[in-house]
Chains A and B, each alone.
Chain A
Amino acid sequence: MKEEFLKAISEHQGIILKVCRIYCSDNLEAEDLFQDILLALWKAWPSYKGNSKIGTWMYRVGLNIAITRLRKNSRTIKQDELSSAHHSFPATESGRLDIQFDKELQEAISTLSQFDKGLLMLYLDERSYKEMAEILGLSESNVGVKINRIKKILKQKINP
């Protein structure tokens, strides 16, 4: 079972990285979240019955963990300080991440609510409305409405 799980995760690990990218602002935080999501996926793996695509299932678990994990000690150190400290570690080591945080992209993302960040990620990732609805628990028409609203917010933010 473990082999099958690792193979599936290995093929779709980009999804975990995207969730980490959208919800974290530095690499240490992203590493923590990456590990939490991986462990959650492993625990949920026995109940995955293949009713939905593996990508959809991974997005669901990933977003659930990112939003509901309620960290006790949220870090308040600025991104720059952490990034410079982090770069002293090799990115190839297990669990070490060296995620790029495009400054302008990060600024745009940070204006959004937790929920909208998830939706934006799915939109930028060109997921279908049906899949987004399935991941978030919305109707397809609602997905459309919400995406238009996010677009408006972002337009104001990036072209004031």
Chain B
Amino acid sequence: MELDDLKARWQKETKENLNTNKQSMEQLQAILKEKTSGTLINIREKYKGIISYLMVGLLLNIIISPFLHFLLGDDGPVFRLTFSGLLSLVFLLTIGLLVVLFYWLRFSSFSTEVSDVDLHTALIEKITSLKRSFKQEIIFIAAVFLAIFIIGRASSQYLGHGDFGDIYRKDILLAIGAGLAILIFYISRRAKAYNKDIGTLKSYLAEFEGNNEQ
């Protein structure tokens, strides 16, 4: 097969493909509608999952705490909405909603980003955007971790369960260790995902720039 044959085959194939697959304006509109609602459903499903986990966590907290008091020899398995309990629930809920809001905003902005610049510029823009996004996510998660720690210590002092700086206790050190382990695990997973995407785009860019040098 010669290059001219290739061109002829392409053009023949293109014509036939268009004849077979030509969509009417109504069909195009239907595809657009389905795709738009499909994207929204995907976003909704993703966040429904996160919010469900948060709700289950809060519910377990509410259900388990009276039994814990009972097991610890307190007043028995009665539901007691103490001030400290309420404070921790509200705090947990606020942090949870902040995390959901953060990912919601990021995900929706990602799904609306469309670049109609040339391909070279689009690749560079996308790599920069992914790097920025990764940085923002890491800063946000680290800030949440730090905020939980600071507010936890502050509320502990406020409620008379120990001084703010009194962290060299077995239980607190254990909590910090567990929190740090989760933080490192999460960051490493996100870094892996971002690096994979950035690496793929960089390889495309390298193909482009490498070819340009020839």
- Interface of A with B (CB < 8 Å)? 2, 6-7, 9-10, 13-14, 17-18, 21, 34-36, 38-40, 42-44, 47-48, 57, 60-61, 63-65, 67-68, 70, 91, 94-95, 97-100, 102, 104-105, 108, 113-116, 118, 124-125, 134-138, 142, 145-146, 149, 151, 154-155, 158-159
Contact = CB atoms under 8 A, between A and B. Distances in A.
A108 B121 contact: no
A69 to B, nearest CB: 10
Interface residues of B, number: 50
Interface in B156-214: 197, 200-201, 204, 207-208, 211-212, 214
Given A64-B122, A124-B6, A14 B212 contact: no
B3 A100 contact: no
Interface of B: 1-3, 6-7, 9-11, 13-14, 16-18, 20-25, 27-32, 34-36, 39, 112, 114-123, 126, 197, 200-201, 204, 207-208, 211-212, 214
B29 A98 contact: no
A14 B29 contact: no
Given A35-B35, A158-B1, A99 B17 contact: yes
Query: Main SS of chain B's interface residues?
Result: helix
A44 B35 CA distance: 15
Given A95-B34, A99-B21, A142-B212, A124 B11 contact: yes
A95 B28 CA distance: 8
B214 A91 contact: no
Contacts of B34: 35, 94-95
A114 to B, nearest CB: 5
Contact of B1 (A67, A104, A113, A137): A104
Contact of B9 (A7, A105, A159): A105
A111 B21 CA distance: 26
A21 B20 contact: no
